[in-house]
């Protein structure tokens, strides 16, 4: 049987809507990287206990986040279209956290804290225009349709920028 470990959410990640005080995570460390994304920021908090390389240094992990978003995106859109926003809340929470991971990881950094997110995001080299303003809106109103639209835009903008950066690395003419 797979061993389950209980992990305390680190204080730097006790930010709504992701976690609240006294939240505990029951996780099987041998789960796949994609499965671990269901626990917002767990990889940033405890990546040492998982059998993975630092994800912010490896392209496949970044592509996996974007692919998971693209697979879930239509389902979330359908729920919003049916005015079942309360059912979107958990998926939006997971994907907002995944976007923040994606944003930091493409900048080759782990998320150290959510407490200073505006300052940390402002210092990233690769980020969309008005990123923090849009991200603040999404975090504070994560179960609204407009937040879903903004999250779509942010994911697509960051992914396009990421592709351009990767093309520059692969092409000596840039």
Q: What is the pLDDT of residue 105?
A: 93
- Confidence band, pLDDT 50/70/90 cuts, at residue 59: confident
Res 104 pLDDT > 90: yes
Do 69 and 119 share a domain, yes or no? Answer: yes
Residues 43 and 65 in one domain: no
Q: Do 44 and 126 reside in the same domain of the chain?
A: no
Could you tell me if 128 and 108 are in contact, meaning their C-beta atoms sit under 8 angstroms apart?
no
Q: 72 with 143: CB under 8 angstroms? A: no
Say whether pLDDT at 151 is over 90. Answer: yes
Which pLDDT does position 2 carry in this prediction? 66
CA 36: distance to chain centroid?
A: 11
Cα dist. 90→87, 97, 125, 130, 164 in Å?
7, 11, 29, 25, 31
Same domain, 18 and 44: yes
Number of domains in the chain: 2
Q: Domain check: are 59 and 12 in the same one?
A: no
Structure tokens that stand for 24 in this block: 């505990």
**Do residues 84 and 17 share a domain?**
no
% of the chain surpassing 70 pLDDT: 97
- Do residues 59 and 138 both lie within one domain? yes
Calculate Rg over the CA atoms of the chain: 16
Same structural domain, 20 and 90: no
Helix (H, G, I), strand (E, B) or coil at 146: helix
Considering the domain architecture, whether residues 154 and 137 belong to the same structural domain is answered as yes
Do 114 and 63 belong together in one domain?
yes
Residues 6 or more apart whose Cβ sits within 8 Å of residue 116: none
What gap in Å lies between CA 72 and CA 69, rounded to an integer? 5
Asked whether residue 29 falls in the same domain as residue 74, the answer is: no
**Residue range(s) defining the domain that contains residue 31:** 5-49
- Which of residues 33, 49, 65 is at a domain's end? 49
Residues 99 and 41 in one domain: no
Preceding peptide of 17 cis, ω within 30°: yes
């Amino acid at each position: 049987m797979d061993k389950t470990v209980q992990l305390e959410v680190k204080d730097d990640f006790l930010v709504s809507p992701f976690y609240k005080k006294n939240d505990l995570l029951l996780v099987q460390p041998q789960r796949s990287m994609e499965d671990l994304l269901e626990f917002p920021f767990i990889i940033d908090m405890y990546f040492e206990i998982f059998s993975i390389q630092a994800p912010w240094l490896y392209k496949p992990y970044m592509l996996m986040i974007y692919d998971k978003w693209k697979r879930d995106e239509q389902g979330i859109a359908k729920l919003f279209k049916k005015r079942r926003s309360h059912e979107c809340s958990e998926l939006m929470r997971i994907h907002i956290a995944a976007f923040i991971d994606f944003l930091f990881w493409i900048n080759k950094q782990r998320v150290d804290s959510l407490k200073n997110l505006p300052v940390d995001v402002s210092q990233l080299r690769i980020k969309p225009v008005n990123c923090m303003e849009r991200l603040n809106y999404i975090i504070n109103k994560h179960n609204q349709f407009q937040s879903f639209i903004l999250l779509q835009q942010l994911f697509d903008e960051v992914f396009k920028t990421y592709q351009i950066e990767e093309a520059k690395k692969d092409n000596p003419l840039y």
